[in-house]
A and B are shown apart, each in its own frame.
Chain A
Amino acid sequence: ELKVEQNPLFLSMQEGKNYTIYCNYSTTSDRLYWYRQDPGKSLESLFVLLSNGAVKQEGRLMASLDTKARLSTLHITAAVHDLSATYFCAVVLNTSGTYKYIFGTGTRLKVLA
């Protein structure tokens, strides 16, 4: 059974600080996604990571993927209040040409001024 674990589940940090969110998954997957959800809103895509060693950056967020360790990280640099949201990682279980998505439980980030 494919499991996706994120930690921490809750993160309160000061503006200007750096921090990393971790996403571990239990079996092989050929892709990993990061999404953001603002309170009361839907999910929006942040990053798609497709290969071992992949690194993508957008503003103060940088995501990386280590498929051998089955680990992805979402690094926050110099946090600002606007980054307060819940962040989800998700992997795809590809079985005989069907695609089943498994999401982590999410990391709720609160950036304090």
Chain B
Amino acid sequence: EAQVTQNPRYLITVTGKKLTVTCSQNMNHEYMSWYRQDPGLGLRQIYYSMNVEVTDKGDVPEGYKVSRKEKRNFPLILESPSPNQTSLYFCASSLVFSYNEQFFGPGTRLTVL
């Protein structure tokens, strides 16, 4: 089944404790992206990747890191989480050289205390 998976789905952590949210897709998509969703703000793009080893900042990259060492994986790293990073996070993927829509993962609800 074609899908985007994220882990963990729920995470409660404390300020400053490094964490990684994994994202994997099995559709051989070049484009992968991370978003955060906050009430009243819609989805905002954090980082995106056009292909392996190619990443770029979205609108809200501060406090986040990403890497794209393999085509299927695009982990999101919070080196020192803060309470303002409490949010719902979505990973998405799509083909690059087409106009196809993005496929979204199930989401990760992160709470930073």
Contacts and interface: CB of A to CB of B under 8 A. Distances in A.
Interface of A: 30-31, 33, 35, 41-45, 48, 50, 88, 90, 97-106
B26 to A, nearest CB: 16
Interface of B: 31, 33, 35, 40-45, 48, 50, 56, 58-59, 90, 92, 96, 99-107
A45 B59 contact: no
Q: Is the interface of A mostly helix, strand, loop or mixed?
A: strand
A106 B42 contact: yes
B33 A104 contact: no
B23 to A, nearest CB: 12
Contacts of A100: 45, 48, 56, 58-59
Given A99-B31, A105-B42, A42 B104 contact: yes
Given A44-B104, A48-B99, A98-B56, A103 B90 contact: no
